[in-house]
Structures are given as C-alpha cells and as structure tokens.
Structure 1
Amino acid sequence: MNDVADIVLGGAAYAGLFRAVDEEAAQAGIAAAWDAGIRAFDTAPHYGAGSSEERLGRFLRSRPRSEYTVSTKVGRLLYADPSAPDGVDDFYGAPKRARRRDYSAVGVRRSLEDSLERLGLDRIDLLLIHDPDDHQEQALAEALPELERMRAAGIVAGIGVGVNDAEVALRFVRETGIDHVLIAGRYTLLDRRAEAELLPECARRDVRVLVAGVLNSGILADPWRSATFDYRPAQRHIVERAQAMARICAKYDVALRAAALQFARRNPAVGATVIGAGTAVEVADTIAMLNTTVPEDLWHELDRYS
C-alpha cells in the first residue's frame, strides 16, 4: 500500500468537471483511490450539482464507517430545475439542478441535511464554508456560528473554510475559531500566495491546512497540452513559466506533474493534499507521481521560477 495518509481524493473531477464522467468510470476512480489506500474524501454540493456526493455515497455504503473520513461544504443549496443547462460552472453530465447561494444559519442546516441524504451517511467529519468571497459578512455572522454550534454538539468533528483566495482564508483564520482551511490553487509551483501569511498563521493557530488545485486546473499537468490556469486560458507569461519548469524537470527525468503534486507535502504547515483525479487511470498516474523521487537539487532549481 502506498504512503497516502496525507492524501485526500477530491470530488470534482469524477462529478464531471471540464468533461462528463459516467457512473461506471466515476465508481472505478473512487475504487482505485480506495485500493491505493486513500481513506479521506472531499466533496461538495457544488460539484456536479450533487452528483459528487451521490457517487461517493454509493461507493462508501459498503465500507465500514470507521475506516474513512468525509468532508463536504455549505454555501450552495440545490433545487430541482428541469431547464438547467449542461456545463454550468464547467460541470458536465450533472443532474438537472440549480445552485443558490445561502450562507444563513438555516441554509447551513439544510445544506448539511441534504448532503447527508445524498451521501447516505449519518455524520460528516469536516464541514467547510464554500467560496464565501462575496458573502463574507453573512458567512461570518450566520454560517460560522452555526458550524461552531454543530461542532460543539458533536454533529461534525471539524469546521473551516474552503476557498481559492488566500486573503479570504486568512480573514477567517484570524477572526474565527475554525480548525481547518482548504486553500485551492494558492500554494502551487506557479502560485505561492498562501505561503507568506496564510500558512504561517495557520501553523501558529494549529489550523490544519488542506491544499487543493495543485495542478492549477491543468497547466502543471502538461503545459504544452493544457494552458488552463485558474479555470481559464492562461496568460502567455504563465505558460512560459510552466514550460520552463517542465524543461528543468526533464533534466532530472521527472515529470512536472510529479513535482507539482508533491510540492505542498514539503511544507510542515500543510496537513494534506487534495488530488483531483477522476478516473482509475488518473488515480493510478497520480499515485505514481506521488511516489516519484524528486531530487533536492530539482526543488532548488524550481524555486527560481516560483
């Protein structure tokens, strides 16, 4: 079994992020992660308009509840919508549901109840406020206190925030009593914005950090085939930096994605890396990249381009 105690399987890819993934392929992907030893899973109502939670729940139903942990998120409620177009927020093949932002205490309770039903579980290990960037005041005044009540009552074990913005995460760390932060895309080979203040502050406050989006939505997987950075076409200077990093890695016979996947693991302030593999083939490749030896000299060279 591989050393994957600090690896979490993210739930966006097998819910159709960027391309549709059918049920069989999704289940095979989750099973491959399980067979590789991964026992932590992160999902959200937003991913595939609920299909991520549903697919994960179907897989976990036959597994002992004590053997795995699940995190999901609040902030978006789902409603049946027969006219919902495909491809909303880059999720394809999703159920006909609409998303509505809601960071109220009532919305948080309903979101958790709905997630438990989709997952087929009686409890969640970690509950995160999802993307409150434009709703910070309501999230701080209503959602966060409700999460604190849930934690105190033992309904959830951990609470936190899941965002793409390091400054938003930093505000929640400094102003609240959260114990987890999931930061996506801001601690990678190409973008280290979380490094200056967020990671040190989390370390000081004993807040566990989960780093996601380590491939920056594709460009660090293969910058010659995928020029997508932060879910949009990458600017030329970013593409050139990624390609320069890939050439440096090639000198050491190391794939760029191996370095990208292992990058966050080197920082003691990071508790786990969330991987975005959605199929069995992607899971196998990710595990292989995580097990690739990256020489220290290569890290030093990559640091010059970060």
Structure 2
Amino acid sequence: MAAPSQVLAARSTHDLRLPRFGLGGSHLGQPPGADGDAGAIATVDAAYQAGIRFFETSPAYGEAERRLGTALGRRPRAELLIATRLPATRLPATRLPATRLPATADLESAIRESSERLGLTADLVLLQHDSGWGVEEVRRAGVVGRVGVVSGDWRVLDEVVRGAEPDCVLLTAGYSLLDQSARPLLERCRERRVPVIVSGVLTPQVLQAEKSSEPDGVRARRIAAVCERYGVSLPQAALAFPGRHPAVASVLIAASTPAEIRADAALVRQAVPQKLWQDQELIRLLSQPDH
C-alpha cells in the first residue's frame, strides 16, 4: 500500500499545485442543524486524517462553507487548498467586454462572504460557472489569486480554454470509466498546460452496477468482471482512471460520512496493476461509443 503522501502528492502544472485527490463538498451542507454540523465536521476531519488537503465547496451547498471553515479552523492553513464557487446569481447575464469589469464590487462582496464563512487565510481558488468571462479581469483586479471555471459541459470549458487562460478547470461530468466524451477538452488542456479537476467519477452505475439493467450498468458489470481478475474493485478503478490522463491534476471525491471518505481514501492508496489498463477486453469496453 502506498503512503498517503505519495498518493495525494500535488501535481504541478500551470504553476498551480493540485493534490491528486480532494474532498468534494456537495454533501457537507446537509442535513441542517447541529447533527448536520457534527457529521460534516467529522467527515472533513476524517478526510484530513486520510491525507487530503484539497477541499471544494460552494455557497450553493447550504451550510458547507461554514462547516468546512469550522472543521479546518484548527489545521495549518499553509498546507490547505480550497476551491469555492462564485454563486451564479453574482455573474452577469452576458459576457462582459474585456476592457471593463463593472461587477468587480459584486465579486469582492461574494468572495468576502465566502472567505468569512470559511475563516479563510488558506490559498483560495475561485471557480466561475459555465463562463470564461472576466478571467483576466478578475485576476488583474486582485480580488482573488486563482481563477478557474466549472461546468458539466466539456464544450463550455473547451471554449473557455481556447479564449482565456484559467488557472484550472473543474469538469463535473464527461471523463470517467463509462464516459470519455470530454477527451477533446483534456487534450486541449494538456497542450495548453491547464490543469483539469475531475469530479463525479463514482456514479450510481459504478456504485450500484449489480442493480442496474441500463446499458451503462451492464457495461459497468463487464468492466468490474475484468477488474476483479486483477484484484481491483470497480470503484477503485473508477477513482484511478481519470488521473491516468496527463491533463488531469486532481480527482474530487464526494462523501457524506467519515466512513465513506475513509473507505474511498483507502481505495486510492491501493495500487492498480498496470496490466489491468493493458487488458484488451478492458480497452474494448472503455472505448465503446460514449453516450
């Protein structure tokens, strides 16, 4: 078993160092109340103890920012990297001219609000939704040090990478064991040295493959059968697969309990034999047309 420092070590591209795995915070905002606070804080603590130092959050995740800030408040901030999303309501309806940024005050307000909830003195990456508007302007305005873009549509991110220079992109769908439709984006990011963060790899088809009668469920079971011959579980392969592409710098793992993030962290520490990826049956199954 590899040491956490080896598995979770940062990959440096485009001068932004991203740990190979991070905690996606989409489940940390629920449920509300004291029980929700305790559960979220325990989950973040378990992630930290497992070696995770990269955390993604959003004001849209309910209480997630505040809970994350509370959990990380006693940790050394110099070793942490946090990515939070600019609320879509704070974005202009249309792309702004490159020569002006009238929304700077609103940006500063949104970032200040997130920073206060996070209690933030750690490195912060601001993620904009579905648009590359103002990437350079936001950077020049000095309201945040790092600017990335997040989308579940790889074509949107591809347009951003072609027209701007984000510090990173977060792809929430389109590159996993069962769907590699975002390969053109990854190739462009590789060429331009823009690091890609991938989330959404532990899909229901992966986690509940034996229960699904849908085509992707059947395909997942066939992939699982190949993986089992090499002593690898389907979730383990799903977590390892995206990072094999040189453009992918980090994979986010969403978790709602300490046990869940501990189990997932244990999976990423288990080495996947190179022979698995060279298996011709697996290559055929992975190369089937994307939906």
Q: TM-score, normalised by structure 1?
A: 0.77
The 3 A distance-change label for structure 1 pair 57 and 32 is same
Would the aligned equivalents of 1:222 and 1:257 in 2 still touch at CA under 8 Å? no
1:127 aligns with 2:105: no
The more displaced of 275-284 and 106-115 is 106-115
Post-superposition shift, 1:54?
Answer: 0.9
Tell me the number of residue pairs that the alignment of Structure 1 and Structure 2 aligns: 257
- Measure, in 1, the Cα distance between the counterparts of 2:42 and 2:249: 27
Among candidates 4, 28, 40, match of residue 14 of structure 1: 28
The more displaced of 243-252 and 294-303 is 294-303
Post-superposition shift, 1:113?
Answer: 2.2
Q: TM-score, normalised by structure 2?
A: 0.81
Among candidates 189, 195, 198, match of residue 202 of structure 1: 189
- Measure, in 2, the Cα distance between the counterparts of 1:154 and 1:65: 20
SS in 1 for 2:209: coil
- Measure, in 2, the Cα distance between the counterparts of 1:298 and 1:16: 38
Where does residue 64 of structure 1 map in the other structure? Answer: 76
Alignment RMSD (CA, Å):
2.2
Among candidates 201, 216, 219, match of residue 238 of structure 1: 216
Where does residue 8 of structure 2 map in the other structure? Answer: 4
- Measure, in 1, the Cα distance between the counterparts of 2:244 and 2:112: 37
SS in 2 for 1:274: strand
Percent identical pairs in the alignment equals 36
- Measure, in 2, the Cα distance between the counterparts of 1:171 and 1:268: 20
SS in 1 for 2:55: strand
Where does residue 154 of structure 2 map in the other structure? Answer: 166
Where does residue 223 of structure 1 map in the other structure? Answer: 209
- Measure, in 1, the Cα distance between the counterparts of 2:115 and 2:124: 11
**What runs of 5+ residues in structure 1 fail to find an aligned partner?**
77-100, 133-138, 228-234
Would the aligned equivalents of 1:29 and 1:283 in 2 still touch at CA under 8 Å? yes
- Measure, in 1, the Cα distance between the counterparts of 2:28 and 2:209: 22
- Measure, in 2, the Cα distance between the counterparts of 1:219 and 1:287: 20
SS in 1 for 2:48: helix
1:297 aligns with 2:259: no
**What runs of 5+ residues in structure 2 fail to find an aligned partner?**
10-19, 93-102, 287-291
Where does residue 284 of structure 1 map in the other structure? Answer: 262
Residue 270 of structure 2 aligns to which amino acid in structure 1? T
The 3 A distance-change label for structure 1 pair 39 and 123 is closer
The 3 A distance-change label for structure 1 pair 108 and 302 is farther
Runs of 4+ in 1 over 6 A off after TM superposition: none
